[in-house]
Structure 1
Amino acid sequence: MFTVYAISSISRNYIYVGLTSNLENRLQRHNSGYERTTRPYSPFILIYQKEFSTRPQAREHEKFLKTSSGKRFLSNG
């Protein structure tokens, strides 16, 4: 299973969208500062997740969430 997720910075106005096969581990890496991209914005809370059976399906959804329409979808939560 593959999970597309969105996390929101607790301290700043920043949302990160990603894809993983191990969500718990990935969230821990974001919050621990292991990911260079998100390090300045930690800590995070999970605001969205959706599971897919194949990586290509998950990737398509991840790409959608990174568009302006996808960002609106996440903002309207």
Structure 2
Amino acid sequence: MHYVYIIYSNSFDRYYVGMTKDISVRLNSHNAKKVKSTKAFVPWVVKYIEEFETRIDARKREKYLKSAAGRRWRRNNMGN
């Protein structure tokens, strides 16, 4: 399985959208400052997860969530 996730940094009021095969390992990487784009904003918590059969489907959803339409979806469905 592949997962698309949205994590949130409460300290900086910031969201990050990503894709992985293992949510807990990936979250640990973010919080251990091993991900360049998120290391300045630790700590992160998982706010949303979607599961997909294929990497291709997960990647399509990740790209959507990173688009302007995806940000609108997040505001409408997650409150921010």
Shared fold (TM-score, shorter chain, > 0.5): yes
1:1-77 pair list within 5 angstroms: 1-76=1-76, 77=78
Moved more, 51-60 or 28-37: 28-37
AA in 2 matched with 1:69: A
C-alpha deviation, 1:37, in angstroms: 1.0
5+ unaligned residues in a row in structure 1: which ranges? none
AA in 1 matched with 2:38: T
2-structure distance, mates of 1:59, 1:45: 21
> How many residues are paired up?
77
5+ unaligned residues in a row in structure 2: which ranges? none
TM (normalized to structure 1)? Answer: 0.93
C-alpha deviation, 1:75, in angstroms: 2.2
C-alpha deviation, 1:13, in angstroms: 2.4
C-alpha deviation, 1:14, in angstroms: 1.4
RMSD of Structure 2 on Structure 1 (CA) = 0.9
Superposition misfits of 4+ residues, deviation over 4 angstroms: none
Kept in 2, the 8 Å contact 1:3–1:49? The answer is: yes
AA in 1 matched with 2:55: R
Partner of 2:37, secondary structure, is coil
